Amino acid sequence: MNITRENRDALNAVVKVDIAKEDYSDKVEKILTDYRRTANIPGFRKGHVPMGMVKKQYGKAVLVDEVNKLLQDALNKYLTEEKLDVLGQPLPKTQDSIDWDSDGFSFEFELGLAPEFEVELKSKKAITQYIIVADSKMIDEQIENIQKQYGKLVSQNAVEKDSEITGTFKNEAHEIENTITLTLDKFKEKSVSKKFIGSKVGDIISLETKGLYNDDHDLMHALKVNHDKVHGLDIPVTFTITEINKRELAELDQELFDKLFGKDVVKSVTELKEKIKEDAEKQFAQQADQKLLNDVTEYLVDSTKFDLPAEFLQKWLQTAGEKPLDVDQAKEEYEKSEKSLRYQLIEGKIITDNKVQVTIEDIKNHAKEMIKGQMAQFGQLNPTDKELEDIAARVLSNQEEARRISEQLISQKLLKLYKEKANLKVKEVTYENFVKEAYSKK
């Protein structure tokens, strides 16, 4: 067997595999001999079928199968030994016909080669690393929400600013009739809230759906209509009041603290505020880290320039999926996935250059910590090592779950690397300002 490669350019190559008779003849002969021993052909005793007849009936099929196996094994071995970083899969070049009666065969494969490039982690313009703090306003709002959640409802005769109002939205023509409990702070305009103030049970309020809420999803929930119908909905509705209540706030006492966090974990309002701040900022840190990861990724894709074997990849996409694609469909699919492919290559380069590794032990330890946290939610605070080991083994026997954990750990290690090596400027903000800065439309 002989394998040669011709590099067409830096991103495209053709590999030629020449297979001689001596590469496959012994294997084919052995298989046919085995067939002869077991073949059931009318007129011949088992094991006494003439070899000529066996070759005539099975010879070509066995030859084709063995040559294809030999070809794939040889090609895979060649790519590994030559350390060729290929994109997609080798594509066999079209051959008019193969003469399976000849003694040797030649096959050609097109290769798309990964580009060579360097990654510069330090951007000229600093990337913002947000540190989100829970300010006193947020903490006080959270405490009030807790007090409302654990408070009790007191019936009212008339609607006040902070009432909880139960009633039914209705529009017969559009078959809308939905009963909900609402609060006045959800409405977009103060003029709408004023219509409710002083109203009593049995009163009917006339409203317009256009501009009723800030968010269409709130209107969708209020009217119980689907997502497509709610956008741009401009119809009159009535709201018939059936119940008016005021929520009496729960006392900030030890009984409430114990309900929230367990016995004696929090013993004062000061400690409650500290606990809320600590828990909130842990959650905020995850959001800030994800934002940083997204921003660094965007910078890397935009700043790391290299060419791809686009023509090859589009050709490969035509046959790579479950359904074949035509030329235009493959081009469209390539354009949609190009950015993702670029980042995969950049990420792979960063991982290789910086020796970022995730070991089996890392994956197992992460799984055990994850399981420990889940068990704690159900009151199992001190599981034994054996329990954790056994559950982790079951979890990691699922290859998809093991892969997901491995990807999480890689992301964590990359994030740590970016914090160490990227050009970052740290900015401390409240959550409200973080949302405005990080997710407002540019």
Domains of the chain and CATH, by start: 2-113 (3.30.70.1050), 152-248 (3.10.50), 276-439 (1.10.3120)
Q: Is it the case that residue 95 has pLDDT exceeding 80?
A: no
Token pair, residue 23, equals: 């590469």
Q: Is 399 exposed, middle or buried (0-12, 13-18, 19+ CB in 10 A)?
A: exposed
pLDDT for the residue numbered 439: 76
CA 22 from centroid of its chain's CA atoms: 50
What tens digit of pLDDT does each residue of 302-343 get? 999 999 999 999 999 999 888 999 999 999 999 999 999 999
Q: How confident is the model at residue 382 (pLDDT cuts 50, 70, 90)?
A: confident
Rounded average pLDDT over 401-410? 93
Instruction: Check if the beta carbon of residue 291 is closer than 8 Å to that of residue 182.
Output: no
For the chain, first and last CA: distance in Å? 59
Token pair, residue 144, equals: 């009030």
Q: Strand runs (DSSP E) across 8-62, as ranges?
A: 12-19
For residue 138, give the nearest of 277, 306, 10 by alpha carbon: 277
- If you search the block for the tokens 């910086």, which residue do you land on? 354
pLDDT for the residue numbered 282: 93
pTM of the predicted protein model: 0.74
Q: Is it the case that residue 442 has pLDDT exceeding 60?
A: no
Lowest-pLDDT choice from 37-41, 191-195, 308-312: 37-41
Q: Is it the case that residue 389 has pLDDT exceeding 70?
A: yes
Q: How confident is the model at residue 441 (pLDDT cuts 50, 70, 90)?
A: low
What tens digit of pLDDT does each residue of 113-144 get? 999 999 999 999 999 999 999 999 999 999 99
For residue 434, give the nearest of 271, 278, 295, 272 by alpha carbon: 295
What tens digit of pLDDT does each residue of 202-214 get? 999 999 999 899 8
Q: Is it the case that residue 45 has pLDDT exceeding 80?
A: no
SS3 2: strand
Q: Is it the case that residue 400 has pLDDT exceeding 70?
A: yes
Alpha helices (runs of H) in 151-266, residue ranges in sequence order: 190-196, 216-223, 227-230, 254-261
pLDDT for the residue numbered 44: 77
Instruction: Check if the beta carbon of residue 254 is closer than 8 Å to that of residue 267.
Output: yes
Q: How far is CA 175 from CA 170, 178, 179, 219, in A?
A: 8, 10, 13, 15
- Close Cβ partners of 314 (under 8 Å, ≥ 6 residues apart): 327, 330, 331, 334
